[in-house]
Amino acid sequence: MTFERIGVVGLGIMGAGIVEVFAKAGLQVIGVAESESAVEQGKKNLATSLDRAVSREKITQVQADEISSRVTWGTDFELFAECDLVVEAAPEIIGLKQQIFSELDRVVKPEGILASNTSSLSVTAIAQSTDRPEQVVGMHFFNPAPVQKFVEVISTEKSHADIVAAVTELARSIGKSPATVGDKPGFIVNKLLLTYLNHAVRLLDEGVASRETIDSAMREIAKFPMGPLELLDLIGLDTSVEVLHTIFADTQDPLDAPASSLTTLIADGHKGRKTGAGFYDYSNKHEAPTSADDDLKIQVHETLMKAYLHTARQMNDSGYASKSDIDMGMKLGCGLPEGPFETMSHFVA
Ligand code: NAD
């Protein structure tokens, strides 16, 4: 399988980033969105990102011009007819994605592969809207796609092993570090990360420790780059709750239902940094939270770490991904110093 021509549907933050990734790797790219104005926005997203790369001397202006020249833009799906792979990055709405895949199935050459960048929807359900489910996979890039190395390649029960291997190899050939993941809610990173973050909120809700103690425990003892509550503020509480709903719908485990202060904060309009407040107030400069309660920090760290490692083990047992892919996902996707299976080798609670 060779990849020369790549299509991208949806040119928002992710789609434009994915266009850039493939064009930078020397491939021909066709970027399509639903309207002229959305296409203009996509062009602007790419230009802004390339300008930034030039000003930071990551690439030269000549290289930026070459990258732009490899991209064709439009609003017509027929432009995808000869694409070897089309990656969809439209809004996270199942009906919309199914409609797009059904249209892609009609226009893309029979051997073309179709991939979705969905963060949380079932790739199996998306593939059902085509007559080629064996050629449908997930290709989940992280934000910003040109910078983040990790890519989850999601394989459904119907995905052909050769197609999954080819897309994984393609990701590697464009400089990414891919992991192969089963089509399970949250895939690797969102499932393990959000389950852990939700647990941290429950500790807060139950009055076990203050937000500062919880955050400083995980920063200082686990050496995670951010505390869980600060990280939820950064991701956005609403986005986090969406992912938790998907996970809960699968597990029906009450511990996976969004913890109560997540929902009350959202109801009060506090969705995290983007609204100026979440677990913390961002109207002034946000400092890393600290706490002097060392004994409680040790207890919080043990409680959260035990549960986090337990979830990682369960995920590996239930076919989410291999131990090494789960480790890679948490390191590259979340910036953790080591993966959970590496931590298990020396964590003693
Ligand atoms: P976005 O809202 O920024 O962009 C969506 C794009 O799709 C826009 O260009 C819009 O014009 C276009 N679009 C809407 N309807 C369309 C249609 N019918 N046909 C073609 N294009 C259409 O969204 P985003 O943040 O780029 O997310 C896109 C996908 O990537 C989602 O599935 C999301 O879950 C996933 N994702 C997002 C992130 C993130 O951090 N934002 C990270 C990983 C994955």
Q: Coil, strand or helix: which one is 28?
A: strand
Q: Coil, strand or helix: which one is 116?
A: strand
154 and 14 in a single domain? The answer is yes
Whose CA is closest to 196, among 315, 298, 292? 315
Q: What is the DSSP string of 219-268?
A: HHTS--SS-HHHHHHHH-HHHHHHHHHHHHHHH--GGGSPPHHHHHHHHT
Q: Which of 45, 190, 216, 240 is catalytic?
A: 190
120 and 81 in a single domain? The answer is yes
Domain with 289 in it:
189-344
Q: Average of pLDDT values for 274-298?
A: 89
Residue 27 confidence (pLDDT) above 70:
yes
Cα–ligand 1 centroid distance for 22 (angstroms): 17
Q: Which of 20, 88, 152, 230 is catalytic?
A: 152
Cα–ligand 1 centroid distance for 12 (angstroms): 5
238-257 tens-digit pLDDT:
989 999 999 999 899 999 99
Q: Which CA distances in Å does 207 have to 41, 262, 296?
A: 46, 15, 12
Q: Is residue 349 part of a domain?
A: no
| Rounded Cα gap, residues 111 and 1, in angstroms | 10
Residue 346 confidence (pLDDT) above 90:
no
Annotation marks residue 346 as catalytic:
no
Whose CA is closest to 176, among 154, 156, 146? 146
316 and 296 in a single domain? The answer is yes
Annotation marks residue 143 as catalytic:
no
Question: What is the rounded average pLDDT for all residues in the chain?
Answer: 95
Give the strand pairing for 177-182 and 5-9.
unpaired
Q: How many CB atoms lie within 10 A of CB 225?
A: 13
284: confidence class by pLDDT, cuts 50, 70, 90: confident
- How many domains does the chain fold into? 2
- Ligand 1 is surrounded, with C-beta below 6 A, by 9-15, 33-34, 38, 42, 89-92, 96, 100, 117-119, 142-143
Residue with the smallest CA separation from ligand 1 atom 17 is 34
29 and 168 in a single domain? The answer is yes
Residue 7 confidence (pLDDT) above 70:
yes
Q: Coil, strand or helix: which one is 141?
A: strand
Annotation marks residue 35 as catalytic:
no
- CATH number of the domain residue 17 falls in: 3.40.50.720
Q: Which CA distances in Å does 188 have to 54, 192, 222, 247, 342?
A: 33, 6, 20, 12, 16
200 and 84 in a single domain? The answer is no
Q: Which amino acid is at 322?
A: S
Annotation marks residue 301 as catalytic:
no
293: confidence class by pLDDT, cuts 50, 70, 90: confident
**Residues 83 and 7: beta-carbon distance below 8 Å:** yes
Q: Which CA distances in Å does 279 have to 241, 245, 304?
A: 14, 20, 18
Element (H, E) at 140: strand 136-141
72-120 tens-digit pLDDT:
999 999 999 999 999 999 998 999 999 999 999 999 999 999 999 998 8
200 and 329 in a single domain? The answer is yes
194 and 175 in a single domain? The answer is no
**Residue that terminates a domain, selected from 131, 162, 182:** 182
- What does pTM read for this prediction? 0.91
Q: Is residue 105 part of a domain?
A: yes
| Rounded Cα gap, residues 181 and 184, in angstroms | 8
- CATH number of the domain residue 207 falls in: 1.10.1040.50
* Token digits of residue 245: 């709903």
| Rounded Cα gap, residues 349 and 340, in angstroms | 14
